[in-house]
Amino acid sequence: VEAGLVTLADIRAAAERLAGRVLRTPLLPLTTADPDRPLWLKAESLQVTGAFKLRGAYNAILPQLTEARRSGVVASSSGNHARAVAWVARELCVRAVIVMPDAAVPAKVDAVRALGAEVEIVTPDERDTRAAKLAAESGMVLVPPFDDPAIIGGQGTVGLEIVEDAVDVDVVLVPVSGGGLISGVATAIKSVKPDTRLIGVEPTLAGDAAESFASGRLVSWTPQQTYRTLADGLRTTSLGQIPWRHVHRYVDDILTVDEDEIRDAVRQIAAGCRLVAEPSGAVATAAYLHRAAQLPATGRFVAVVSGGNVAMRTYAQILATEPEASTESAF
Amino acid sequence: VEAGLVTLADIRAAAERLAGRVLRTPLLPLTTADPDRPLWLKAESLQVTGAFKLRGAYNAILPQLTEARRSGVVASSSGNHARAVAWVARELCVRAVIVMPDAAVPAKVDAVRALGAEVEIVTPDERDTRAAKLAAESGMVLVPPFDDPAIIGGQGTVGLEIVEDAVDVDVVLVPVSGGGLISGVATAIKSVKPDTRLIGVEPTLAGDAAESFASGRLVSWTPQQTYRTLADGLRTTSLGQIPWRHVHRYVDDILTVDEDEIRDAVRQIAAGCRLVAEPSGAVATAAYLHRAAQLPATGRFVAVVSGGNVAMRTYAQILATEPEASTESAF
């Protein structure tokens, strides 16, 4: 194993750490899938915080519990990572400060506060630096969103569960943003079953990782670019440095999907699997549905549904777009 | 045990029969629940056919597999039972004839045909007799929807999983229609943990079982009455004779919920647990949310979400009714 990369042993240690603390999410068949290439959904949307982020947060905080209990934890996020860190802090009786941008949706701020975390609102120019500054000044334990081996190790437990529960899987599709999830999943799956194809998926409108992958060098997009996508969990402007090394080592391809394809996947996940997926959580399924030409023609597929946190108004609008769709026609 | 009632041993035998054939569905916390009376949802909506009915169908057909392979199976249903029998027949390579009313929704007929079953459309006056007549004439194995010990035994595995996975449960809420599900669940739970409160729930507009329970004698309503409810899986006009005996023996109460309360539960299940529930599947959760005064003030609750088969147009309309609801405010 290349020096500095997360290992299968790290991920197995994370799995032991997380046992009983996170849900071992089910693998559910999408009953509308093509029988020649059956698809199972890894339903991380069913985690108690509605997203896989809980795994990395636990795995980062538990080994530093003494320091965390003494000084607290701090994280910067307006989304699923914020919620996960706040949840873990509450469960472990640890003080948490969540740095959130002044543009954050009030409902998201309220949700984090409802978990007992303190919220510090910052302007865009402090957004990326404030949490690290707080940690340096106060001794609080910083919980980064993705560019960290412990986070990657925690998210990797998703991959471990996939290869344990779907022993014959041929292709695994994973949403990509900062790269923590795909790095962990790819490490686990390629270590246990190296012939599995491991494919990242992101919105075309936030396709920085696909460009990095294709060009072989880590590129960044601007927020003006990435914020165009409906998939608000995938607007990170670049893969993290540590994830980039894992992606380069383990990932076979990164595909992009369009906004209408993401909406269609949200609908098909509801109709064919009865899961509420957020747009970001649906991109891997969107690639299965709409990028068949770029994927193996046969084989057993797994798509990670990474989260289910979506405003009901937005969700209802997405579902209403094709009024003929129904779980009645699920097979 | 009273003669003629399904026993815990029957349900344990069903569980062995169903192992590997049906999903052991997860118990998921509703994160928006009152902390003094936490609620877990038994997500039968995640079964491959989208409802618990698969369990009874397998348990009824498997012991008669030789006859079923020779002559086929027949069932009468326009809903989740039809789908379940068609699915089991396909999995077991058995011919299936499903008798459906001429008023059945085309999408439901198509879904059953897509599973390879033959559909026979009948007029209302033949609806309750045609399947039995076919079975008597042709030797096909009749799979009744609820008034049958094997069906009750199969549905009882839902209860067995609840007491195994939620060992400290105090109150279990179960949707009621013909009574197959609640009979099995009540038998399993009261046999393993007799101090658990077992409560049925049905729509006020189809409240025949509540009336039977309150009056102590089995009553029937008319289809004109029961068809008023949005919960199309709960329009059966009476408990079955065999379920009635189980309900009388094991169930502590039957509550009713109004249509708006059912819609609210559908929304809260989506927002707080990221599950797609059909209206019928949401009534038990509706009772938890809106009948607190008639339920224990503290304790650990489980509500069975019995199914998730709903037209997307209907579902989107239900979710859109309260635009401020969001999975973002899940806790």
Query: Do the chains contact at A110 and B326, CB–CB below 8 Å?
Result: no
Name the least confident of A116-120, A125-129, B70-74: A125-129
Q: Residue A117 above 70 pLDDT?
A: yes
Q: Which of residues 70-109 of B touch A (CB under 8 A)?
A: 87, 105, 107-108
Q: Between β-strands A39-43 and A27-29, what pairing exists: parallel, antiparallel or unpaired?
A: antiparallel
Residues B53, B108, B190, B193: which is the catalytic one? B53
CA distance A223 to A128: 13
Q: What is the pLDDT of residues A156-189, one digit of tens each?
A: 999 999 999 987 999 999 999 999 999 999 999 9
Q: What residue of A is the nearest CA neighbor of B79?
A: A328
- pLDDT (mean) for A260-284: 97
Grade residue A107 by pLDDT with cuts at 50, 70 and 90: confident
**What is the structure's pLDDT at B277?**
98
**What is the structure's pLDDT at B45?**
98
Query: Do the chains contact at B313 and A329, CB–CB below 8 Å?
Result: no
Nearest CA of chain B to the CA of A279: how many Å? 13
* Cα angle: B278, vertex B283, B287; to 5 degrees: 150
Q: What is the ipTM of this complex?
A: 0.92
Residues linked to residue B275 through DSSP beta bridges, in sequence order: A275
Q: Which of residues 251-270 of B touch A (CB under 8 A)?
A: 267, 270
Q: What residue of A is the nearest CA neighbor of B327?
A: A309
The one-letter amino acid at B7: T
Nearest CA of chain B to the CA of A276: how many Å? 5
Length of chain B: 331
Q: Which of residues 11-70 of A touch B (CB under 8 A)?
A: 23, 25-26, 28-29, 31, 45-46, 48-50
Which of the pair, A167 or A281, is modelled with greater confidence?
Answer: A281
- pLDDT (mean) for A103-131: 89
Residues A45, A238, A280, A306: which is the catalytic one? A306
Tokens of B45: 């909506």
What are the distances in angstroms from CA A287 to CA A41, A176, A299, A302, A303? 13, 12, 15, 11, 9
Grade residue A1 by pLDDT with cuts at 50, 70 and 90: low
Grade residue A327 by pLDDT with cuts at 50, 70 and 90: low
C-beta neighbour count of B241 within 10 angstroms = 10
Q: Residue A212 above 90 pLDDT?
A: yes
CA distance A32 to A7: 36
**What is the structure's pLDDT at B53?**
97
Query: Do the chains contact at A323 and B313, CB–CB below 8 Å?
Result: yes
Query: Do the chains contact at B311 and A322, CB–CB below 8 Å?
Result: no
Active site residue B53: yes
Which of the pair, A182 or A78, is modelled with greater confidence?
Answer: A182
Q: Which of residues 167-196 of A touch B (CB under 8 A)?
A: none
Cross-chain CB nearest to B111 (options A105, A108, A330): A330
Percent of chain A with pLDDT over 90: 88
Tokens of A298: 């046969």
Grade residue A322 by pLDDT with cuts at 50, 70 and 90: low
Helical H segments across B142-258, by residue range: 149-165, 180-192, 208-215, 223-226, 241-250
CA distance A23 to B279: 26
Report the b/e string of B181-212 with b at 16+ CB within 10 A: bbbbbbbbbbbbbeebbbbbbbbbbbbbbbbb
* Cα angle: B166, vertex B52, B165; to 5 degrees: 10
Which parts of chain B sit beneath pLDDT 70?
A: 1, 322-331
Nearest CA of chain A to the CA of B317: how many Å? 7
What are the distances in angstroms from CA A23 to CA A157, A243, B152, B281? 11, 24, 30, 23
Arithmetic mean of pLDDT over chain A: 94
Query: Do the chains contact at A107 and B331, CB–CB below 8 Å?
Result: no
Grade residue A105 by pLDDT with cuts at 50, 70 and 90: confident
Contact between B230 and B264 under an 8 Å Cβ cutoff? The reply is no
Query: Do the chains contact at A311 and B330, CB–CB below 8 Å?
Result: no
Contact between A171 and A199 under an 8 Å Cβ cutoff? The reply is yes
CA distance B313 to A199: 33
Q: What residue of B is the nearest CA neighbor of A78?
A: B328
Query: Do the chains contact at A115 and B313, CB–CB below 8 Å?
Result: no
Nearest CA of chain A to the CA of B313: how many Å? 5
Query: Do the chains contact at B320 and A313, CB–CB below 8 Å?
Result: yes
**What is the structure's pLDDT at B327?**
54
Which residues in chain A are closer than 8 Å to B320, comparing Cβ atoms?
A: 312-313, 316-317, 320
What are the distances in angstroms from CA A196 to CA A39, A174, A252, A291? 14, 13, 9, 18
Grade residue A330 by pLDDT with cuts at 50, 70 and 90: very low
